[in-house]
Every structure is written in C-alpha cells, then in structure tokens.
C-alpha cells in the first residue's frame, strides 16, 4: 500500500471513531496548552524584568562601598564606606569613557505638603543624574549646576509622591517641608514603575546633593556613585578604568583589596535572566508532565484500538497488506492525532495566556519557537507512544487475527 493510501485509511479510522479520537487527543491538548501557558508566564516575567532593568538607566555603572572584615569575619557588602564626592569628581575629570557621573546620598523621611504628608526616600544627586538614569520630567525642570553648587532648597518629586500629596494639581511651584526645611518643588519625574526586586521607583524625590548633605542628612560619606558610558561597548573598559581611578583616589596599595564594588547593567541583566530562565524551565517541566500523561493515554487507547480491530487487521493482511503497512497505518493515526491535539493545545495555550494576562495583569509572551517546539514534541509523543501498539498490530498472525472474536 502506498503512503498516500495509508494516510487516507488512517484518516478514515480517526474520523470514524470520534469519541476515541477525542479521548486520545485530550491529554495532548491539555499538555501542550499547559506548556505554552507556563512558558508564556516565564517569558513574560523575563521580558518585564529586562524592561525594568533598562528603566534603571542607560549603560549604567554602579559603585558601592565594599565589604569590611573584622576579626577575620566578613561584615557583608557596603559595610565599609569610603565613598566621597571627591571620588565622583575625580572620575568626571579623568575618565575617558564616562559620559556622566553622580554621587548619591539617601535619606528617608516625611515630606509634608499638599494633602498631608508622605514618607519616602530623598536622593541627593547632581545634574548628571537624569542623563544616567534616562529619566525625563512630566512637568517643570531639573535643577541646574548653579543650584547644585549652592545647595539650593529645591526638590523634584517622583510620580507616586506627587499623586499622593497633590492628587488634583501640578505641584510645580508649591512648597513642601522636609525635616523643617522648606523646599520648592521645581519638577515631577515621569513614571518608571517597579524595579526587578519589586520596589517602586516613583516613590522617590531628588534634590541637589549639597542640599541633602548639609540640610537633611549631615552625612559626609555617600551611599553610591552612578555613572554611564557613551556607548554599551565601552562598559567593560570603563569598569576597568573606574577601578583604577577609585583605587588611586582611595590610596590603596597593590597588595590591598578594593574597598568598593563596581557593577554594571549587563551583570544585573544576566543575573535576572538566569533566574527567570530557571523559573521558566521549571514551569515548563511541570507542565510537560501533562504531555507524558497524554502520551501514555495515546498508547493505552491505541492498544485498545488494536484489540478492537484485530479482525480488520487480519483481513487486510490476508488480502496482501504487509506488516510494515499495518505498522505505518497505526503510526500515522497516532502521529496525526498527536499533531491535531498539539494544534488545538496551541490555540488553547494562546487563549489561556491572554486570559491569564487580562485577569491577573501579568505580562505573558508566547514565542514562535515555543509553538514550534510544542507541536514537534507532540508529534514525537505520538511516534514514541504509538510505536508499541503499531508494532503489536503489525506482528499479528493473519490466521489468528481472522479467528479473533
């Protein structure tokens, strides 16, 4: 029997036994749909995290205090702070790769004004900060070099603070009170959303670094130094250069370790990507169990089909069909049902991912590669679990098959 005729015979058998076909495909449909939904959730989480990392800034490098050791015991990261404004100035003057640099001082306190008060974090920064963080304003302006140099009493509110203190008006020009220091609001930052660790980037206010240092915190050391490169290709060279500048600034000998740490966006992105990839693989592995169960279902029902159609197989073999023809027919039936089940599962996966996104607000992404792999895998399941029943059918003795009741 030719292949085309075998396909027609297999198709007629599938159409003839609709309920058996549906039950056979059900496991594959659920399995493929579950895999696509789970992978879509994982890919969506990865996409969202990468977007959040990009929102942190463009080509950004972060210098933080290093770890100290007491009695041979590490005190942890940022336990030994020697960062100073002079370090940032030295980087600005000597680096060939850095486009902007800003020391940062944090202080957490109440901001009073408008409808009441709001507890938030105030960052003392320089005029390069919006360039480094790639942060635009929705209204007002950023402070200039003169206001930074003189420690002017001005402040820029994040979107969350502005919405809570001044929900029905533009706060630009209004005054807020921070630790009994009156500050004039000169701008409102555009909304950035959450960071990869779930913190609200918009729940922040910015002020000139000297204003925060002298009037609000009285800290001599700064919490971090932010810098960005002219190009993403400069990040690695800039990191090496920054390390040399910082070691020189802190007067470290060759045998002394760094008292600071330098991280870049690529490292943050790779760490987040690694985490989400593991999560995606875990979700896909859990969902793939459904495909395994579906494959076992195919094998069981195909074995029942072989028993039900024993006399039919005997007749075909008696009139000239070879064992290989019977094997091919049953394999085709198994593969066709698996592929059809996979296609329905893909549609179910698309619909389920969209429904999940609309109900929960999660970001879901269905890639073409995932769809192709799901269909190919369902076909592979059909071949693997359909081979044994097909082999059993092909090995039947025609005379015994004709006598089967």
Q: Over the stretch 351-384, which tens digit does the pLDDT of each residue have?
A: 888 887 777 767 777 777 777 777 777 777 777 7
Q: What is the mean pLDDT of residues 316-335?
A: 71
Q: Which span out of 8-17, 99-108, 283-292 was modeled with the highest average pLDDT?
A: 99-108
- The helix-helix angle for 323-360 and 265-308 (nearest 10°) equals 140
Band (204; pLDDT cuts 50, 70, 90) = very high
Q: Name 381's Cβ contacts closer than 8 Å, sequence gap at least 6.
A: 28, 291, 294, 295, 298, 338
Predicted local distance difference test score (pLDDT) of residue 355: 82
Closest C-alpha among 120, 119, 83 to residue 104: 83
Quick check: 331 pLDDT over 50?
Answer: yes
Considering only residues 356 and 398, tell me which one the structure prediction assigns the higher pLDDT. 356
- Is the alpha carbon torsion for 54, 260, 238, 107 positive or negative? positive
pTM of the full structure: 0.60
Q: What is the secondary structure of 81-125 as a DSSP string?
A: ----HHHHHHHHHH-SSEEEEEEEEEEEEEEEETTEEEEEEEEEE
Predicted local distance difference test score (pLDDT) of residue 148: 92
Q: What is the mean pLDDT of residues 226-236?
A: 86
Q: What is the mean pLDDT of residues 102-111?
A: 91
Mean pLDDT of the chain: 78
Element (H, E) at 344: helix 323-360
Quick check: 137 pLDDT over 80?
Answer: yes
């Amino acid at each position: 029997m030719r292949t085309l005729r075998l396909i027609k015979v297999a198709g007629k058998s599938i159409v003839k036994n609709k309920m058996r076909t549906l039950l056979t495909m059900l496991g594959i449909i659920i399995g493929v749909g579950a895999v696509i939904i789970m992978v879509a959730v994982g890919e969506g989480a990865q996409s969202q995290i990468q977007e959040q990392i990009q929102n942190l800034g463009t080509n950004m490098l972060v210098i933080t205090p290093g770890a100290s050791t007491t009695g041979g015991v590490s005190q942890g990261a940022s336990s030994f702070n020697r960062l100073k404004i002079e370090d940032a100035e030295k980087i600005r003057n000597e680096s060939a790769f850095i486009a902007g640099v800003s020391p940062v001082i944090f202080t957490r306190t109440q901001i009073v004004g408008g409808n009441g008060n709001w507890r938030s974090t105030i960052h003392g920064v320089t005029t390069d900060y919006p360039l480094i963080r790639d942060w635009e304003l929705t209204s007002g302006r950023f402070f200039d070099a003169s206001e930074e140099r003189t420690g002017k009493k001005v402040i820029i509110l994040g979107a969350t603070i502005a919405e809570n203190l001044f929900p029905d008006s533009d706060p630009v020009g209004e005054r807020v009170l921070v630790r009994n220091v009156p500050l004039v609001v000169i701008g409102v930052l555009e909304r950035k959303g959450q960071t990869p660790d779930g913190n609200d980037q918009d729940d922040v206010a910015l002020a000139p670094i000297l204003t925060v240092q002298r009037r609000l915190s009285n800290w001599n050391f700064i919490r971090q130094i932010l810098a960005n490169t002219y190009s993403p290709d400069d990040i690695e060279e800039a990191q090496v250069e920054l390390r040399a500048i910082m070691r020189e600034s802190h007067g470290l000998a060759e045998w002394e370790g760094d008292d600071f740490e330098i991280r870049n966006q690529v490292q943050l992105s790779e760490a987040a990507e690694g985490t989400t990839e593991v999560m995606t693989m875990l979700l896909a592995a859990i969902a793939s169990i459904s495909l395994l169960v579906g494959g076992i279902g195919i094998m069981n029902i195909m074995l029942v089909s072989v028993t039900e159609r024993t006399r039919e197989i005997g007749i075909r073999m008696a009139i000239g069909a070879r064992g290989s023809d019977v094997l091919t027919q049953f394999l085709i039936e198994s593969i066709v049902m698996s592929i059809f089940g996979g296609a329905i599962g893909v549609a179910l996966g698309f619909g389920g991912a969209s429904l999940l996104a609309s109900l929960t607000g999660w970001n879901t992404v269905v890639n073409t590669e995932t769809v192709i792999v799901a269909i190919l895998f369902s076909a592979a399941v059909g071949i693997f679990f359909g081979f044994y029943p097909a082999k059993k059918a092909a090995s039947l003795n025609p005379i015994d098959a004709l006598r089967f009741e």
